[in-house]
Amino acid sequence: MSQNIESHQVENRVFPPSSEFSAKAHIGSMEEYERRYRESVADPEAYWADMAGKLHWQQPWNQVLDWSNPPFAKWFVGGRINVCENCVDRHLESRADKTAIIWEGEPGDVRRLSYRELHTAVCRFANALKDQGVASGDRVIIYMPMVPEAAVAMLACARIGAVHSVVFGGFSADSIRDRIQDSGATAVITADGGWRRGSVVPLKDNVDEAIADEPGVKRVIVFRRTEQDISMRDGRDVWWHDAVAGVDDQCPAEGFDSEHPLYILYTSGSTGKPKGILHTSAGYLTGAATTFHDIFDIREDDIYWCTADVGWVTGHSYIVYGPLANGATVLMYEGAPNHPDFGRFWKMVQDHKVTLFYTAPTAIRAFIKAGDQFPEGYDLSSLRLLGSVGEPINPEAWMWYHKVIGGERCPIVDTWWQTETGAILISPLPGATPLKPGTATRPFFGIDAAILDEEGNECGPNEGGRLVIRKPWPSMLRTLWGDDQRFIDTYWNTYENIYVAGDGARTDEDGYFWIVGRLDDVLNVSGHRLGTAEVESALVSHKAVAEAAVVGRPDDIKGQAVVAFVTLKSGIEGDDDLKQELRKHVGKAIGAIAKPDDVVFAAGLPKTRSGKIMRRLLKEISASGTISGDTTTLEDFSVVAALQGGKEE
């Protein structure tokens, strides 16, 4: 029996780009995309060399790609580059007075930094790091709120060759300790606290707990944000403002080898310790800068807002490195999207005249649940492009985003990529690609993406299989920090020298890629392998449903029974009639095989702090009613407690 994933979702709505948008776009037609894509995958080294040539190099490379020891790639071999110089210094001649960062704190305070001011701040902090004993190659933990100084700290590390590892400001002391131990970090950059939903997150207290028994950490630099009382240990802790006081505001940008480590970013594995994804300098920056330019169709006067946190890869690639390498104006926001209410994001779009808006499907579904009255209360006419990131977007959530936020005039770039890929690999180009709700459409230039079956054969249209990348690309992870074997086993062991993303997917008749769910989340129902994303999309297409997560529960007859956890829109009550209606709705949309055996109404779903649904916990609840796995990345434990207490049989 074939083990390929079956796909039953049908989407016939198509939204071509407007002639007005296409006329001004960097890539203005599918003919141009097709031609450039064919050329780029026929000779990816030539394409990426051309893109890397747009950066500033202190010494040119002598070899574009060394793939002699797969899966360990080396890009732009022999070249020397400074990532920070490319994001800051090279704009001083033509954009010194242009705003680099607009920042809004949760309490409403606003700051603006020009490229000149950003350069000064980065140089001062880079010199302060050196004064505090941080040198090239040292690992530095950054655990900060979403303030401009978080970006300054990242850029300053890049400037002096220190390797940063940003830890999301919502993570616990245990998470910090794990990352310090794995990376061998010698310094931590943090703040007294940060604002989140009107409360102070005690960042410095968490750091103190994390490093109580970590003698390897020699220095803790503390930015003053919330001004609550904290303890400062003599000889180890220093205030940011004291560290930069009287420090020279010039710090030469030394060139580093193209493969010099830039950062380690930890991503949770399904079991065991977090994986330290290692990204290096030149290839990563080439990927982030190139994709940002073309996919977001950046123009000189754009105000760009990515709502992610710098603790996630989206914040690295599409708040800091990609946008700043393009000389863009970036909006950063410190707090929660629903503080003081669900109008906060839309008020900020109105106030700052945001033109490019990039957020996650989980946020979009939360806005849908909250009600249209929030976005309808603000002027969103400045928006010209919307983006989606983090997981597949349900077609009905896409349609809401298109109509209510985009006013039916803004293209949506539904982007597929991973912490491991460093940059977007599959996405529409907004001036060229006809859009279909729910698909990331076509691969980016130079990216040889495919769907393969169990034997390694390429799947035909609408045949589900494994999403893979068949040729190396510059922004790919280089390894897992300190664990080359785990790197090989996790990503490269299925097919020879082919990267396996871990997602199940299919292509349609137009070559558009549809993600049907993580391979770990595939349901095996009576011999049929179904992707969770399709069942969830069918549920969310019902008028009563705001969000859904689907998991499998062991079943003696079927192998797995389908269990749907459903969050309803505001004001709608769940009852047995609605459960049956939802089961029939899924059966009509996909087929009887996909009908949920159980529908559990839930006020909320367990999510990581980046907004991804933790289906692993739902599997445990559906199977046994309790959870025993790791919950350190869980955003709100009360959601799990409610599900455990109210599990429906």
Q: What is the pLDDT of residues 593-631, one digit of tens each?
A: 788 999 999 888 887 766 778 877 887 888 777 666 556
> Residues 167, 143: contact at Cβ < 8 Å?
yes
Delimit the CATH 3.30.300.30 region(s) of the chain: 522-645
pLDDT computed for residue 270 by the predictor:
47
- Does 643 score more than 90 pLDDT? no
Q: What is the mean pLDDT of residues 497-504?
A: 94
Q: Quick one: which of 179, 172, 257, 171 has its CA closest to 217? A: 179
Please give the Cα distance from 428 to 432 (Å, whole number).
8
> Residues 507, 461: contact at Cβ < 8 Å?
yes
Q: Does residue 642 or residue 633 have the better pLDDT?
A: 642
From residue 490, how far is each of 72, 420, 447, 454, 495 by CA, in Å?
Answer: 14, 11, 20, 16, 12
Q: What is the mean pLDDT of residues 364-368?
A: 91
- The alpha-helical segments, DSSP class H, found in 546-609 are 576-589
Delimit the CATH 3.40.50.12780 region(s) of the chain: 1-50+281-473+483-516
pLDDT tens sequence across 293-317? 999 999 999 999 999 999 999 999 9
Which stretch of DSSP H or E encloses residue 67? strand 63-69
> Residues 613, 585: contact at Cβ < 8 Å?
no
Q: What percentage of the chain exceeds 70 in pLDDT?
A: 92
CB-based contacts of 300: which residues, under 8 Å, 6+ apart? 327
- Which contacts of 68-71 are long-range, i.e. CB under 8 A and separated by 24 or more positions? 70/472, 70/492, 70/497, 71/487, 71/488, 71/491, 71/492, 71/497, 71/499
pLDDT tens sequence across 319-340? 999 999 999 999 999 998 999 9
By CB atoms closer than 10 A (0-12, 13-18, 19+), residue 606 is buried
Architecture of the domain whose range is 522-645: 2-Layer Sandwich (3.30)
Asked which of 187-191, 365-369, 379-383 is least confident by mean pLDDT, the reply is 365-369
The reported pTM is 0.86
pLDDT computed for residue 560 by the predictor:
82
> What's the mean per-residue pLDDT of the chain?
92
Q: Which two tokens stand for residue 368?
A: 């849908």
Q: Any idea what DSSP says for residue 159?
A: H
- Highest CATH level, class, for 1-50+281-473+483-516: alpha beta
* Three-class SS state of 412: strand
Q: Which two tokens stand for residue 392?
A: 């597949």
pLDDT computed for residue 18 by the predictor:
97
CB-based contacts of 252: which residues, under 8 Å, 6+ apart? none
Asked which of 4-8, 94-98, 379-383 is least confident by mean pLDDT, the reply is 4-8
